[in-house]
Amino acid sequence: MEHPSKKTQTEVTISENQLAGDYKFGFTTDVETEDFPKGINEGIIRLISEKRNEPEFMLEFRLKAFRHWETLEEPHWAHLYYPKIDYQAIRYYSAVKKKEDGPKSLDEVDPEVVKTFERLGIPVQEQKRLSGVAVDAVFDSISMGTTHQDVLAKAGVIFCSFSEAIQKHPELIQKYLGSVVPYTDNFFAALNAAVFSDGSFCYIPKGVRSPLELSTYFRINAMDTGQFERTLIVAEEASYVSYLEGCTAPSRDENQLHAAVVELITMKHAEIKYSTVQNWYSGDKDGKGGIFNFVTKRGKCVGAHSKISWTQVEAGAAITWKYPSVILQGDYSIGEFYSVALTNNKMQADTGTKMIHVGKNTRSKIISKGISCDQSVNSYRGLVKILSGAENARNYSNCDSMLVGDQCSANTFPYLEINNNTATVEHEATTSKINAEQIFYLKSRGLDDEEAISLLINGYCKDVFRELPLEFSVEAIKLLEMKLEGSVG
Amino acid sequence: MLEIKDLHVSVEETPILKGVNLKVNAGEVHAIMGPNGSGKSTLAKVIAGHPAYEVTQGSITYEVNFKEIDLMELEPHERARKGVFMAFQYPVEVPGVTNTSFLQAAFNAICRDQGAEEMDAIDFDVYLHEKIKLLSMDEKYLNRPLNVDFSGGEKKRNEILQMAVLTPRISFLDETDSGLDIDALRIVAAGVNKLKSKDNAIVLITHYQRLLNYIVPDFVHIMIDGKIAETGHKELALTVEDRGYDWLNKK
Ligand SMILES: Nc1ncnc2c1ncn2[C@@H]1O[C@H](COP(=O)(O)OP(=O)(O)OP(=O)(O)O)[C@@H](O)[C@H]1O
Ligand SMILES: [Mg+2]
């Protein structure tokens, strides 16, 4: 069996302007890492588990998932084109080398990594931390630590890296891991279950409203390395948490794979609000490089009157394949999906949601805003499924597409499966265009380019931005404006 | 206020304006008439700074704050902020942006530029209501997306609402009368007359003499094939109504 190689990774930082246009997060960080050899086999999986000192049940979970994955074919049903991925050319583990016994807290983390997060606007050091938001910073495969642990602990909230959770709360992990997204769910979920390295775990006890917003910031740095993180959030009866997720990666000519799994669970009267601003590197103008973002996100409203709400701003990645979904099991439970997906250059996105109505009087709402520019392809794909026992289920869907220029395309694939005739389902869809004449019209009234684009974007996306926590929505608007500026006019 | 000298303009190498001269002073109303395709809208768009048109020769000088500036040096939004306005012959539909949010953003952009205080949503609402009254417009247009599915006449009236809100110094109204019904024409013309002052100027582009009964011009210009072929007073519009443009072609 091969052994993990230890090496110092040195790379030339690629000028972000040269390569990636406006992508200001395209830099790389020089850090000493511990990398596994490329490729995937049982040995690698055992090694990952061993490296992380995992209990037996974890190794078993991984091995079962791996054996199942080997029987599966890479899916190509989405409205996406990508070459067959060589899974043996990917590295499944890369970790920043730790000091003797690893950083005890974020303040001991490699200063280069700290600097990286600061450049990304995520201050992790004690003095500079964001107030009101606890951050888990994940650098390549490994969590660098979590801020504000003390405040959360006082409230009984557990928020830590997945690996820490496996060590400290194995009973919770064993109970909930794979309970919403089983490893048999799909190709990428199986792969993730086999090799996932880290991610975040949140547990909100009964009756507690998390005193802080929780957030995880994912950063891919290492080359040829896949990022396979896993997030699990459990909200006990009558609890509430708002969770944010952000992502960036360096600008590189090679594609990199990101295959994450997120599982959310709400008990009676609990609520989870999950927001994402995804800004992975999306490749250059000609479609070279960028992240393949194949993500399985699903929540389960286990208890009656519980609620799960997904809000996503998808602005990056060369390819996005992602359908944050809700299983509405508890009676009177509510599922929501608010999405803005922007594609430019040669990006491809196939994203949407699934709302599975199981319980009685369940409600779901879908608001999706696609913006396609340049030569990109942007598809909404959604399923509303109403099971026979779901009396009086209701769904409202609104899927709008906006085209910028005339070389891009937008598609809408709404699927309905209704097995109970008391259901009420409403679907609206529009397609509109932004063109140079509109920008000129707005400019001729005194708005500069930035103001004009901002007005257009704000107007178009306001139903989604409204759902984001304030600082996030400001960020998201800026991000979209920046991405659009090159494409409009 | 505005002086256009020997203006030549091309679109994709095709000359459209071929030496336009025009001088507009504060307090004046000018009318430009002329056959289809003679270049009237082109002139208005060049003044507003439309990027599709290339000025190949000549100058456009604009006097603001007692200083003469070269208008072509300015971006479209800078021109607007300095008081240049064009009511579009074909107003553009902008989905997702409500009329009110658009008007407030534009108004405040101009305020910022002129160092005036911006208006918050509440004050702006009061201000806007005065303006819609001036044009007898229904409030319901304010919360609809800008021009989207407005009727032809509603779009034209909405252009004048923008003029009323932004209070420009010089306004080119490109066929604002086309598409308005008789009552709407009277209301819009009365609105424009109220906005008129000794400090601002209006240039009406029109095919119909009727408009000029309501908004009386000091000068009437006839544009033919990219040039001002004739300039006169309001009687010239009557002559054109009577005789068409053919006699000018022959001149
Ligand atoms: N963007 C453009 N591209 C190509 N040709 C153009 C463009 N804009 C104007 N033209 C041409 O320039 C000429 C003048 O057009 P313009 O719209 O200025 O005429 P007009 O006098 O306003 O006519 P009308 O009375 O019909 O409104 C026309 O032949 C028109 O086809
Ligand atoms: Mg015209």
d(CA A437, nearest CA chain B) in Å: 7
Q: How far is the CA of B224 from the centre of ligand 2 (A)?
A: 12
Average pLDDT over residues B108-118: 92
For residue A139, the model assigns a pLDDT of 73
For residue A8, the model assigns a pLDDT of 33
Q: With respect to CATH, is domain B2-250 assigned 3.40.50.300? A: yes
Which run of H or of E encompasses B43? helix B40-48
Cα distance between residue B77 and residue A446, in whole Å:
4
Assigned token pair, B191:
């609105």
Cα distance between residue A2 and residue A175, in whole Å:
33
Q: What 3-state DSSP class applies to A293?
A: strand
Pocket test for ligand 1, best of B33, B36, B42, B90 (most atoms within 8 A of CB): B42
Query: If you take atom 29 of ligand 1, which residue's CA is the nearest one?
Result: B37
List, for residues B187-239, the tens digit of each pLDDT value. Answer: 999 999 999 999 999 999 999 988 998 999 999 999 999 999 999 998 898 88
Sign of the Cα pseudo-torsion (A110, A115, A121, A124, in order): positive
Sheet of A94-96, strands arranged across: A5-8, A32-35, A94-96
For residue A97, the model assigns a pLDDT of 65
d(CA B85, nearest CA chain A) in Å: 7
Domain boundaries, chain A: 5-322
A-chain CB neighbours of B170 within 8 Å are none
Cα distance between residue A300 and residue A356, in whole Å:
9
Q: How far is the CA of B11 from the centre of ligand 1 (A)?
A: 9
For residue A489, the model assigns a pLDDT of 53
B-chain CB neighbours of A452 within 8 Å are 77
DSSP states of B80-110 as a string? Answer: HHTTEEEE-SSPPP-TT-BHHHHHHHHHHHH
Q: Going by C-beta distance under 8 Å and a sequence separation of 6 or more, which residues neighbour residue A33?
A: A7, A8, A9, A94, A95, A96, A97, A140, A222
A-chain CB neighbours of B99 within 8 Å are none
Contacts A–B by Cβ distance under 8 A: 81
Angle between helices B152-166 and B182-195 (to 10 degrees): 10
Cα distance between residue A117 and residue A331, in whole Å:
42
Cα distance between residue A342 and residue A262, in whole Å:
22
Query: If you take atom 22 of ligand 1, which residue's CA is the nearest one?
Result: B41
List, for residues A235-248, the tens digit of each pLDDT value. Answer: 999 999 999 888 77
For residue B206, the model assigns a pLDDT of 94
Give the residues of chain A that fall short of pLDDT 70.
1-23, 96-109, 113, 117, 119-133, 140-142, 249, 488-489
- How big is chain A, counted in residues? 489
Pocket test for ligand 1, best of B40, B53, B240 (most atoms within 8 A of CB): B40
d(CA B82, nearest CA chain A) in Å: 9
Q: CB contact, 8 Å: B105 with chain A?
A: yes
B-chain CB neighbours of A445 within 8 Å are 77, 80, 102, 106, 109, 162, 166
- Residues forming beta bridges with residue B145, ordered by sequence position: B98
Cα distance between residue B160 and residue B193, in whole Å:
11
By the CB criterion, residues less than 5 angstroms from ion ligand 2 are B 41, 89
Q: What 3-state DSSP class applies to B184?
A: helix
Using CA atoms, how far residue B141 sits from A191, B136, B145, B149, in Å, is 54, 11, 8, 11
Average pLDDT over residues B229-251: 85
For residue A458, the model assigns a pLDDT of 84
Average pLDDT over residues B4-8: 96
Assigned token pair, A243:
């969770």
For residue A15, the model assigns a pLDDT of 31
For residue A124, the model assigns a pLDDT of 63
Cα distance between residue A165 and residue A189, in whole Å:
20
Q: Going by C-beta distance under 8 Å and a sequence separation of 6 or more, which residues neighbour residue B209?
A: B237, B238, B240, B241
Start-to-end CA distance of chain A, whole Å, equals 57
What chain B residue is nearest to A448 in terms of C-alpha separation? B77
Ligand 1, CB cutoff 6 Å, lining residues: B 11, 16, 34, 36-42, 52, 89
Q: CB contact, 8 Å: B88 with chain A?
A: yes
- Could you say which of A432, A437, A446 has the minimum Cβ distance to residue B166? A446
For residue B66, the model assigns a pLDDT of 85
Cα distance between residue A381 and residue A77, in whole Å:
11
For residue A288, the model assigns a pLDDT of 87
A-chain CB neighbours of B77 within 8 Å are 443-449, 451-452
- pTM for the model stands at 0.80
Using CA atoms, how far residue A200 sits from A111, A117, A135, A360, in Å, is 22, 17, 10, 32
What chain B residue is nearest to A456 in terms of C-alpha separation? B97
Q: Find out whether B76 and A444 touch, Cβ atoms under 8 Å.
A: yes
Predicted ipTM of the assembly:
0.95
Average pLDDT over residues B231-249: 87
Q: Encode burial over B53-83: b for 16+ CB neighbours within 10 A, e otherwise.
A: beeeebebebebeeeebebbebebbbbbbbb
For residue A202, the model assigns a pLDDT of 95
For residue A293, the model assigns a pLDDT of 93
Question: What does pLDDT average to over chain B?
Answer: 92
Query: If you take atom 6 of ligand 1, which residue's CA is the nearest one?
Result: B11
d(CA A309, nearest CA chain B) in Å: 24
Domain boundaries, chain B: 2-250
Angle between helices B121-134 and B152-166 (to 10 degrees): 120
Assigned token pair, A481:
């404006």
Which residues numbered 108-147 in B keep a CB inside 8 Å of some CB on A?
109-110, 113, 145
For residue A34, the model assigns a pLDDT of 75
